[in-house]
Amino acid sequence: MPVALSRKDLLLLVVLTVLWGVNWPVMKAGVRDFAPITFRVLCMAGGVVLLALVARAQGHSLRVRREHWPELVLLGLTNVVIWYVLAIWGVKLLSSGRAAILGYTMPVWTALFGWLLYRDRLDARMGLGVLAAFGAVALLLGSELATLTGRPLGTLFMLGAAAAWGLGTQLMRRRRLTEPVVVLTFWMLLMALVTSGAIAWLTERQMWVRWPDTVEWWAIVYNVFMVFGVSQLLWFRLATILPPVASSLSVMLIPVVGLFSGMALLGERPTWHDWLALACVLVAIASVLLPARRPAA
């Protein structure tokens, strides 16, 4: 059945679309000349503090019941840890617009995991969406392989990040945890911070020779307040109140915003591969999100 959105939820979708879409070139500016996982650690450290303050201001305890931890860890791994680590590696290697297109194949992964794990209905429209999404991946992966300076590993990083997030969306919708969303988000982000800190120490500590410059600090501040402080909470709210595939409606235009904001802010010039892949992703998202037309009675 079609999902009816209230005006408030529709406004939240618009805000989320703009904030996350613009963040792709913001992240690219932040990691272009800076260690990517270290960048994530700095962003998440500020985000964890901000979320703790928000939770306490709302009167919530940060305590989680012991029996809830296994489920919380699984939610954290899929929704936050894997997504944030793989995606920032992908942004480092690819243009911001191309990374956004690949990252937002996520709704197709949401639908696929719903079919594989929860026996959700998989019809011809969803099959078309899957084919369109993998057509986009093939276009961009082929483009990266065809040039001497291509970064096919970046494509694979973004694909893995999108798949993890798609699974996490299904798990988030079906969670049995009773703690407030802001408390769950705090702990999931803290898991990602600890994991990313360990990865940064193992792989990037030889690059710790300077502090971020002005542009990189602005990118960090944007991520702390706009991404971790606002967007993450909005996303989990929408993923909770809407069905798992329909909640992915909020990502429908994010790759479009990401592509055009990359052109405006960074001077990126998408190739025909990018435009065609974007069209394929939009077809894929529409196929799995838009309700089928009912036959006339």
Q: What is the DSSP string of 88-154?
A: HHHHHHS-HHHHHHHHTTHHHHHHHHHHHHH-----HHHHHHHHHHHHHHHHHHHHHHHSTT--HHH
Kindly tell me if the per-residue pLDDT of 246 is higher than 60: no
Q: What is the pLDDT of residues 201-244, one digit of tens each?
A: 999 999 999 999 999 999 999 999 998 878 877 876 776 666 54
Stretch 78-93: mean pLDDT: 96
pLDDT > 70 in the chain, percent: 88
Residues 6+ apart with CB under 8 A from 95: 28, 262, 268, 270, 274
Question: In this predicted structure, what is the pLDDT of residue 282?
Answer: 85
Stretch 32-55: mean pLDDT: 95
pTM of the model: 0.86
| Mean pLDDT estimate for the chain | 86
Question: In this predicted structure, what is the pLDDT of residue 289?
Answer: 64
Kindly tell me if the per-residue pLDDT of 118 is higher than 80: yes
- Nearest Cα to Cα of residue 113 among 173, 28, 191: 173
Question: In this predicted structure, what is the pLDDT of residue 197?
Answer: 97
Kindly tell me if the per-residue pLDDT of 251 is higher than 70: no
Query: For residue 152, how many other CB atoms are within 10 A of its CB?
Result: 17
Question: In this predicted structure, what is the pLDDT of residue 293?
Answer: 58
pLDDT band at 4 (very low <50, low <70, confident <90, very high): low
Question: In this predicted structure, what is the pLDDT of residue 1?
Answer: 42
Q: Tell me which of 68-72, 124-128, 169-173, 187-191 is least confident.
A: 124-128
